[in-house]
Amino acid sequence: MKNDNLFSALRAAFPQDLDTIAVETTSASGEPLNYSWRDLDRMSARIANLLGSLNIPSGSRVAVQVEKSVEAMALYLATLRAGYVFLPLNTAYQSAEIEYFITNAEPAVVVCSPQNFGWVSKIAFQCGTQSVFTLGDDRSGTLLERAVHCADTHEPAVRQSDDMAAILYTSGTTGRSKGAMLSHGNLLSNAVMLKDYWGWRAGDVLIHALPIFHVHGLFVAIHAALLNGSKMLWFSKFEPKAVIAAMERATVFMGVPTLYVRMLAEPSLTKTATRNMRLFISGSAPLLIETFREWQERTGHTILERYGMSETIMLVSNPYRADSRYDGQDERRGGTVGFPLPGVGVRVQGDDGQPVPVGEIGNIQVRGPNVFSGYWRMPEKTAEEFTKDAWFKTGDVGKVDARGYVTIVGRSKDLIISGGYNVYPAEIEGFINELPGVAESALVGVPHPDFGEVGVAVVIAKPGQMADAEGIIATLKKQLANFKIPKRCFVVNELPRNTMGKVQKNLLRAQYQDLFKG
């Protein structure tokens, strides 16, 4: 029977000599640590056999909240290999956030950091999770202790292209987090296309410095390197100096704009330091034109900006090479995200559901083999996010020029992107509104030199009561992931409202937009 398991395709691309190095990294104590392709194969086989031995039903979710490590990547590969559904969770999430995901996804297996076992396992067992394992970034924990006793060969489970491979929680356009269901076919078709579109070739080496719980670091970066049989220089945390030093031995880098901003602040970033590099890719948030230009001047390289979503993986990209269709004139154009990727349909519609004329602004809608099938157990939400003719509404607002370049000009969804992470105002406002003395709050995104955009909270106190801005931030820090904490909080007498009584966030944004200007 034909096997469409994504793992099988990735495994088939491993180099012939399995003893060559696949991943170079350093141990938690700073010692060099190398993993061969054989190590990846055996490690993922052992973990897949362990998962298989648990007798969990087909389609079971494996929820994972662990620090970045090569073993954590092997756990992802093992989950695919065994035919289960991978559910990655940001390490910054705290108990209320984890409780929501576990309650909603009902994973059969949860893997967490050893230091979090107490509280995570309590939540998981209450929700009916069968097994909770631990995995530390120093290869400690019960997952590997158990897996080491399992066989190091494993025949990948047979999966069809439409079978679910992963669930990624995202808030979509509104409301509470929803699990975007991605299939083996969604992930593989996108990876195969990107390998070609971005010109991956023999000898490429990827610097992997992104977290591995979101699309960018987990799918776009890892799949490309594995499908190309390329070595990865693996950083468990982004350190600008160390990444720049590694460029001598690498050819490809992927990052969110904040990583580029931070590297530009390093004097060691020069043309010489980057002369071996072939490609710098940016995405997940808008890349400022200043950053694009400064990077060009300092390094001689033109960053390739692309655009994607958790629900769709990659959608649109600037060209890798000038396209002969247009007399070789098309270049990577700063401020745009480039052209729809091969096989991806992109259209721009007005609020009336009609296509807008070329160059005019409207709602971006997409379709293609990369687009997810829906949100986990939320058929109504899924239906709301697709048009009648089955295009996915991205919630992004943009335009396409006569040449075909797509520019994102804003979002219709109420989303703040801070350092490449999404912050949903409604979620944070919900927590603030529960605090003593608070009548109402509004969270708005304002420009920030490092994170691109950050949240600022504006709060009204209950009549006759006091609300304390610093106290609010301190309390939120105990409840929410660190990147969601407003960078500033203001207590005011009233919020600007329109005639319908709705808070005018555009006015608040304008009021606070220079707060972080240097």
List residues binding ligand AMP (CB under 6 A): 170, 283-286, 305, 307-310, 337, 394-396, 408, 411, 417, 422
Tell me, residue by residue from 404 to 423, as one string, x for binding to ligand MCA by CB under 6 A and - for no binding.
Answer: --------------xxxx--
Q: Binding to ligand MCA (CB under 6 A): which residues in 468-507?
A: 482-483, 485
Residue 131's binding partner, choosing from ligand AMP, ligand MCA, none, with beta-carbon cut-off 5 to 8 A by kind? none
Among 9, 165, 205, 215, binds ligand MCA (CB under 6 A): 215
**CB of residue 87 to ligand MCA, shortest distance in Å:** 15
Q: How many CB atoms lie within 10 A of CB 106?
A: 15
Report the SS3 class of residue 239. Answer: coil
Report the site for ligand MCA in 243-302 (rule: CB under 6 A). 256, 258, 283-284
With respect to ligand AMP, which residue has the nearer C-beta, 45 or 309?
A: 309
Instruction: Tell me the residue nearest to ligand MCA as measured from the CB.
Output: 419
Query: Least separation, in Å, of the C-beta of 439 and ligand MCA?
Result: 26
Q: Which residue type occupies 161? A: S
CA distance 509 to 498: 15
Distance separating alpha carbons of residues 225 and 206, to the nearest angstrom: 7
> Which partner in ligand MCA, ligand AMP, none is near 286 (CB below 5 to 8 A by kind)?
ligand AMP
Shortest distance, position 306 Cβ to ligand MCA, whole Å: 7
User: How far is residue 308's CA from residue 315's CA, in Å, rounded to a whole number?
Assistant: 5
89 binds ligand MCA (CB under 6 A): no
CB 476 within 8 Å of CB 486? yes
- Residue 386 partner contact from ligand AMP, ligand MCA, none using kind-dependent CB cut-offs of 5 to 8 Å: none
- As to burial, measured by CB atoms within 10 angstroms (0-12 exposed, 13-18 middle, 19+ buried), residue 434 is exposed
Q: Find which of ligand AMP, ligand MCA, none residue 305 binds, CB within 5 to 8 Å per kind.
A: ligand AMP
Q: Which of the choices ligand AMP, ligand MCA, none does residue 337 contact, using the CB cut-off of 5 to 8 A by kind?
A: ligand AMP
- Interior angle at CA 179, CA 343 and CA 424, nearest 5: 100
Site for ligand MCA contains 210 (CB under 6 A):
yes
CB of 392 to ligand MCA, least distance (A): 13
* Cα(23)–Cα(225) distance, integer angstroms: 10
482: partner contacted, choices ligand AMP, ligand MCA, none (Cβ within 5-8 A by kind) = ligand MCA
Least distance (Å) from ligand MCA to the CB of residue 214?
3
Strand order through the sheet with 362-367: 345-349, 362-367, 392-400, 406-411
The option from ligand AMP, ligand MCA, none interacting with 340 (CB < 5 to 8 A, set by class) reads none
* Nearest approach, Cβ of residue 33 and ligand AMP (Å): 30
- Encoding tokens for residue 176? 């509470």
CB-facing half-sphere around the CA of 159: CA atoms within 13 A: 30
The residue number with the shortest CB distance to ligand AMP is: 310
Among 451, 472, 489, 495, binds ligand MCA (CB under 6 A): 451
User: Phi then psi for 122, rounded to 5 degrees?
Assistant: -60, -50
Token duo for residue 120: 């995570």
- Compute how many residues bind ligand MCA; rule: CB under 6 A: 24
The smaller minimum CB distance to ligand AMP, of residues 69 and 173, is found at 173
Best CA proximity match to 172, nearest among 445, 372, 431, 428: 372
Contacted by 516, from ligand MCA, ligand AMP, none: CB < 5 to 8 Å by type: none
374 vs 420, beta carbon nearer ligand MCA: 420
DSSP string, 119-161: HHHHHHHHTT-SEEEE--TTS-SHHHHHHTTS-S--PPPP--T
Cβ atoms of residues 219 and 38 within 8 Å? no
**Binding partner of residue 382 among ligand MCA, ligand AMP, none, CB cut-off 5 to 8 Å per kind:** none
Q: How far is the CB of 486 from ligand AMP (least distance, A)?
A: 19
Nearer to ligand AMP, 180 or 252 (CB): 180
Nearer of residues 156 and 185 to ligand MCA, judged by Cβ: 185
By beta-carbon proximity to ligand MCA, the closer residue of 170 and 441 is 170
Binding site partner of 453, from ligand MCA, ligand AMP, none, Cβ cut-off 5-8 A by kind: none
Strands 61-65 and 85-88 turn out to be parallel
Please identify which residue in the block is written with the tokens 């356009």. 173
Q: How far apart are CA 287 and CA 306, in angstroms?
A: 10
If binding is defined by CB under 6 A, does position 216 make contact with ligand MCA? yes
The DSSP annotation for 75-106 comes to: HHHHHHHHT-EEEE--TT--HHHHHHHHHHH-
Give the one residue of 46, 214, 278, 367 binding ligand MCA; rule: CB under 6 A: 214
Q: For residue 255, count other CB atoms closer than 10 A to its CB.
A: 26
Smallest distance, ligand MCA to C-beta of residue 473, A: 9
Burial class from Cβ neighbours inside 10 Å (0-12, 13-18, 19+) for residue 460 reads middle
Bridge partner residues of 410 (DSSP): 397
Positions touching ligand MCA (CB under 6 A) are 210-211, 214-217, 237-238, 256, 258, 283-284, 308-310, 418-421, 451, 454, 482-483, 485
